[in-house]
Copies of this chain bind each other. A is one copy, B any other.
Amino acid sequence: MREILYRDAICEAIDEEMERDDRVMMIGEDIGFIGGNFKTSVGLLDKYGDLRMKDSPISEAGIVGMGVGMALTGLRPIVELMFSDFLLVAADQVVNQAAKITYMSGGQASVPMVIRTPMGAGRSSAAQHSQSMQAMMAHFPGLKVVVPSTAQEAKGLLKTAIRDNNPVIFFEHKMEYSNKFMIDDVVEPIPFGKANIVREGTDITIVATSSQVMKSMDAAAKLEKDGISVEVIDLRTIVPMDRDAIITSVKKTGRLLVVDEAHEKCGIGAEIGADVMDDVFYYLEAPIGRIATPNVPLPFSPALEFPIIPSVEKIIVKVKKMME
Q: A127 to B139, Cβ gap below 8 A?
A: no
Q: A267 to B139, Cβ gap below 8 A?
A: yes
Query: Which chain B residue shows the least CB distance to A85?
Result: B96
Mark each residue of chain A from 252 to 271: 1 if its CB lies under 8 Å from any CB of chain B, else 0. Answer: 00000000001101111111
Q: B263 to A266, Cβ gap below 8 A?
A: no
Is the C-beta of A183 less than 8 angstroms from some C-beta in chain B?
no
Is the C-beta of A235 less than 8 angstroms from some C-beta in chain B?
no
A141 CA / B308 CA spacing, docked (Å): 14
Is the C-beta of A37 less than 8 angstroms from some C-beta in chain B?
no
Query: Which chain B residue shows the least CB distance to A288?
Result: B277
Is the C-beta of A187 less than 8 angstroms from some C-beta in chain B?
no
List chain B residues, Cβ under 8 A from A297: 99-100, 103-104, 141-142
Which stretch from A23-31, A87-95, A188-196, A220-228 is at the chain B interface? A87-95
List chain B residues, Cβ under 8 A from A179: none
Is the C-beta of A201 less than 8 angstroms from some C-beta in chain B?
no
- On whether A128 and B96 interact (CB within 8 A), knowing A103-B297, A139-B135, the answer reads yes
Query: Which chain B residue shows the least CB distance to A269?
Result: B274
- CB contact list, A100-154 vs B, under 8 A: 100, 103-104, 126-128, 135-136, 138-142
Is the C-beta of A324 less than 8 angstroms from some C-beta in chain B?
no
Per a CB cutoff under 8 Å, which of B103, B266, B284, B286 touches A266? B266
Q: A265 to B271, Cβ gap below 8 A?
A: yes
Is the C-beta of A62 less than 8 angstroms from some C-beta in chain B?
no
- On whether A263 and B141 interact (CB within 8 A), knowing A104-B126, A297-B99, the answer reads yes
List chain B residues, Cβ under 8 A from A270: 266, 270-271, 273-275
Can you show 5 pairs from A to B with CB atoms below 8 A apart?
A: A104-B126, A136-B139, A266-B266, A270-B273, A273-B273
Task: Please list the residues of chain A having a beta carbon within 8 angstroms of any beta carbon in chain B.
Answer: 85-86, 88-89, 91-92, 94-96, 99-100, 103-104, 126-128, 135-136, 138-142, 239, 262-263, 265-271, 273-275, 277-278, 281, 284, 286-288, 290, 295-297, 299
